[in-house]
Amino acid sequence: MRKPERPRKTERQTGAVHSQTRLGDKLDAWFAHHSTSAIDSLLRLLHTPGSSLITWLVVAIALTLPAALLVGLMNLQQLAGNWEDTNQISAFLDTKLSDAEAQTLRNKWQKLEGVAQVDYLAPADALTEFRDYSGLGRLIDNLDHNPLPGVLLVQPRTGSSLDALYQQLLAEPGVADVRIDMLWVQRLEQLMSLAERLVLTLACLLALGLILIVGNTLRLAIENRREEILVAKLVGATDAYVRRPFLYAGLWYGLGGGILASLFLALGLGLLSQPVTQLNLLYASQFTLKGLGLIGSLQLILAGGFLGLAGAWLAVARHLRLIRPH
């Protein structure tokens, strides 16, 4: 079985220089270990598809929930944004005011700060419009005088205070009443910023949960490979070397969950798009349902990867220290 072999002195001599490996080789080996760790940990996850899939699903759910709420909120904001563009202040003038006086007022207001545009709707025009659209044509023809006042339609500059403008216009001479019909848009906006905070809080909680889930999963993985870690440490593995495969496993859990989450979101939006299109047809609205998009999905996946890595780091820092020797 064994070949008779003479002691070879030369072998020992080459052994003495083994620690002087070239830096380039070390760097190559470092990259090689990174890629083998990455592939090896992925293969390990795929080796137990059942339990890995469950972890991926849990991660995906923890990511999908806040992402879906965020997408919903984004769409609402887009909708509210459309309404805000049509935000308008109607200033009803005194019926005694003549068209010429109204035009003077219009020119004056045009120069006001916070005003983008002012249009004058004369009483006669208002009546024509009313007759055409209200369906009360005959009745209106029978009126002996025009009951409608002139209206100045003020388009506020975006970002200016509606309330201040409202007060200012109300104080103007010749103005009977001022109406901001879109007050509820502001309220909606307030509500949405509140909702945004709630979603952010929820996202933070779920992110924390995700970190703990990945951490716990990897704690078990570390326990299962305890013997291997011990032996590796005894033959001179650094902590970084021992950590690496687990950190990659965390990254894979996170990235996989992120990919699943973006698929879930795309699927959900796909299911919703049909009814939304029908609703749009009914209301002649130009609203389109917006998803995360390519960049958003990538961000979601990256966020998953980052959180998975954080969870792995947590588990590794806590549990590798407990495995003796140091």
Partner 1 sequence: MIRFDSVSKRYPNGFEALSDLNFEVAPGEMVFLTGHSGAGKSTLMKLIMLMERPTQGQIHVDGRNLNRLSNSQIPFYRRRVGVVFQNHQLLFDRTVFDNVALPLQVTGTSHHEIGKRVRAALDKVGLLDKERMNPITLSGGEQQRVGIARAVVHKPALLLADEPTGNLDPELSAEIMHFFTRFSEFGVTIMIASHDLELLKRMNKRVLGLSQGQLVHDGVIW
Task: Tell me which residues in 62-91 interact with partner 1 (CB under 8 A).
Answer: none
Distance separating alpha carbons of residues 230 and 247, to the nearest angstrom: 18
Q: Tokens 């496993």 identify what position?
A: 249
Stretch that binds partner 1, among 20-28, 129-137, 138-146, 271-279 (CB under 8 A): 20-28
Task: Tell me which residues in 28-67 interact with partner 1 (CB under 8 A).
Answer: 28-30, 32-33
What's the closest the beta carbon of residue 28 comes to partner 1, in angstroms? 6
With CB under 8 A as the contact rule, the residue among 96, 111, 145, 324 that binds partner 1 is 324
Residue nearer to partner 1 on the CB measure, 238 or 277: 238
What's the closest the beta carbon of residue 16 comes to partner 1, in angstroms? 8
Report helix angle 239-283 to 183-224, nearest 10.
150
Distance separating alpha carbons of residues 113 and 160, to the nearest angstrom: 9
Per CB under 8 A, 226 contacts partner 1: no
Residues 195-198: contacts with CB within 8 Å, 24+ apart? 195/73, 196/73
Stretch that binds partner 1, among 27-35, 113-121, 250-258, 272-280 (CB under 8 A): 27-35
Task: Tell me which residues in 227-256 interact with partner 1 (CB under 8 A).
Answer: 227-228, 230-239, 241
Per CB under 8 A, 220 contacts partner 1: no
Is the separation of the CB atoms in 93 and 151 below 8 Å?
Answer: yes
Exposure of 34 in the CB half-sphere (CA atoms within 13 A): 6
- Beta bridge pairs of residue 121: 151
With CB under 8 A as the contact rule, the residue among 4, 20, 25, 322 that binds partner 1 is 25
What's the closest the beta carbon of residue 244 comes to partner 1, in angstroms? 11
What's the closest the beta carbon of residue 43 comes to partner 1, in angstroms? 12
H helices of 156-238, where?
Answer: 162-170, 183-224, 226-234
Q: Tokens 């010429």 identify what position?
A: 100
Exposure of 271 in the CB half-sphere (CA atoms within 13 A): 5
CA-wise closest residue to 261 among 66, 3, 27: 66
What's the closest the beta carbon of residue 70 comes to partner 1, in angstroms? 43
Per CB under 8 A, 2 contacts partner 1: yes
Residue nearer to partner 1 on the CB measure, 178 or 229: 229
Query: DSSP class of residue 323?
Result: S
Distance separating alpha carbons of residues 121 and 132, to the nearest angstrom: 15
What's the closest the beta carbon of residue 243 comes to partner 1, in angstroms? 12
What's the closest the beta carbon of residue 237 comes to partner 1, in angstroms? 4
Q: Tokens 């760097």 identify what position?
A: 27
Residues that bind partner 1 (CB under 8 A): 1-2, 5, 7, 9, 11-12, 15-16, 18-19, 21, 25-26, 28-30, 32-33, 227-228, 230-239, 241, 324-326
